[in-house]
C-alpha cells in the first residue's frame, strides 16, 4: 500500500452528495462512529472502468446499516452512481473504492437515534493487497490470538467497522513475527478466515471452505465458488478443524483487496500453490477484467 498519508492527497471525495477536495473531507472528533464504531463500509475494485459486482457491494452496505439499526439516506442506485462518478472525478479506471456510512456527532452516548447518517466514498489506486513475490510463492500466515465471535454476541454478518478491531490486532502481531497475515478460528475452534479474507483448501481435487455462519460471506468468496463449480470442481462448505490442515495440499484466500492469493503456510502447516489455486486466481483475474464470462 502507498506510504502517502490518506489525509494528505490530491483528489476528490464524495461526501454527503457533494464532491469535496480530498484534504477537506473531515468529521468532528465527537462523531458517534468514531467513539462507538457505528459505521459500516465496503471495499470494491474497478477494473478497466467497470466496478466489479458494484450493486452487490452497495446492497451489502445497506444491509450492514440495517443490521446496525440505521438507514442510509440514499438509494442503492444513487450510491452505485456516486461510486462511478467518484472514480471518474479522480480520473481513475483501475481503483479501489471505499464507501462508508456512519452516525454523526449530534449525540455522544450509547443511545444515538437522533444522529445524522453520513455517507462518503473515496477511491484510490491500490494495485495489490500483498506483494507480488509473496503471492507467487504463497503468503505465510500464523495463528491469530482472537477468535471470530458467535452470532449471538455480535452482528457478524455486517461489514461493520467494530468487527475489524481484532483483525488489526492480529495482523499487527503476525507482521511483528515476520508473517504476512493471521488465520482466525471461530468461537467453536473451527477455521474461520484470515484478518481480511476468506480461506479455501484443496485435497484430491476437491475444494473445502469454512461455512460462513459466523463471519462475512465475501462477494469474492461467492464468485470463486461459482467459478469453481462452473468448471465442475467440487466445493464443500463445512466446518473445518485446525488439525485437518495437515491433509490439504493447496490453500488460498479471497477478498476484494486480496483477490485470489495462494497461501504457503499457516502456522505449522505448509501448502504448495498448485494447478487448482493458481488456475482460479487466473480465472478470477480474467473475469473481473471482462475477459471471461460470468459463471
Provide the annotated active-site residues.
159
Smallest CA-to-CA distance from 187 within 146, 150, 158, 237 is with 150
Number of residues written out for the chain: 295
Grid coordinates given for 204: 484430491
Q: What angle do the packed helices 54-67 and 76-89 form, to 10 degrees?
A: 120
Minimal CA–CA distance to 98: which of 153, 28, 42? Answer: 42
* 3-state SS, residue 242: helix
β-strand pairing of 181-185 with 139-143: parallel
Could you identify the residue written with the cell 491500490?
A: 126
What is d(CA 137, CA 272) in angstroms, rounded to the nearest whole number?
A: 8
Match 490442515 to its residue by C-alpha cell.
245
Give phi and psi for 139, each to the nearest 5.
Answer: -70, 155
Helix (H) or strand (E) holding 279: helix 275-288
Determine contact, residues 277/264, Cβ cutoff 8 Å.
no
- Could you tell me which residues come within 8 angstroms of residue 205 by beta carbon, excluding any fewer than 6 positions away? 233, 234, 276
Residue 140 CB partners (closer than 8 Å, separation 6+): 134, 178, 179, 180, 264, 265
Amino acid at each position: 500500500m502507498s506510504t502517502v498519508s490518506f489525509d494528505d492527497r490530491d483528489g476528490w471525495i464524495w461526501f454527503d452528495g457533494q464532491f469535496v477536495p480530498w484534504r477537506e473531507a473531515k468529521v468532528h472528533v465527537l462523531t458517534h462512529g468514531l467513539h462507538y464504531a457505528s459505521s459500516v463500509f465496503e471495499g470494491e475494485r474497478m477494473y478497466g472502468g467497470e466496478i466489479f459486482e458494484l450493486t452487490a457491494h452497495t446492497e451489502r452496505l445497506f444491509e450492514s446499516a440495517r443490521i446496525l439499526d440505521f438507514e442510509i439516506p440514499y438509494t442503492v442506485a444513487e450510491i452505485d452512481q456516486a461510486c462511478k462518478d467518484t472514480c471518474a472525478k479522480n480520473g481513475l479506471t483501475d481503483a479501489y473504492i471505499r464507501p462508508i456510512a456512519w452516525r454523526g456527532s449530534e449525540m455522544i452516548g450509547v443511545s444515538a437515534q437522533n444522529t445524522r447518517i453520513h455517507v462518503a466514498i473515496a477511491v484510490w489506486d491500490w494495485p495489490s493487497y500483498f506483494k507480488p513475490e509473496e503471492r507467487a510463492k504463497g503468503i505465510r500466515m500464523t495463528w491469530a490470538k482472537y477468535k471470530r465471535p458467535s452470532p449471538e454476541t455480535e452482528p457478524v454478518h455486517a461489514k461493520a467497522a467494530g468487527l475489524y478491531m481484532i483483525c488489526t490486532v492480529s495482523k499487527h502481531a503476525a507482521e511483528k513475527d515476520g508473517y504476512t497475515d493471521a488465520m482466525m478460528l471461530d468461537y467453536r475452534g473451527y477455521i474461520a478466515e484470515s484478518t481480511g479474507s476468506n480461506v479455501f483448501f484443496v485435497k484430491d481435487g476437491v475444494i473445502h471452505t469454512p461455512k460462513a455462519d459466523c463471519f462475512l460471506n465475501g462477494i469474492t468468496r461467492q464468485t470463486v465458488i461459482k467459478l469453481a463449480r462452473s468448471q465442475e470442481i467440487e466445493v464443500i462448505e463445512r466446518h473445518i478443524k485446525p488439525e485437518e490442515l495437515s491433509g490439504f495440499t493447496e490453500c488460498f484466500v479471497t477478498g476484494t483487496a486480496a483477490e485470489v492469493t495462494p497461501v504457503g503456510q499457516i502456522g505449522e502447516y505448509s501448502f504448495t500453490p498448485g494447478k487448482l489455486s493458481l488456475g482460479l486466481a487466473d480465472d478470477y483475474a480474467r473475469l473481473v477484467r471482462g475477459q471471461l464470462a460470468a459463471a
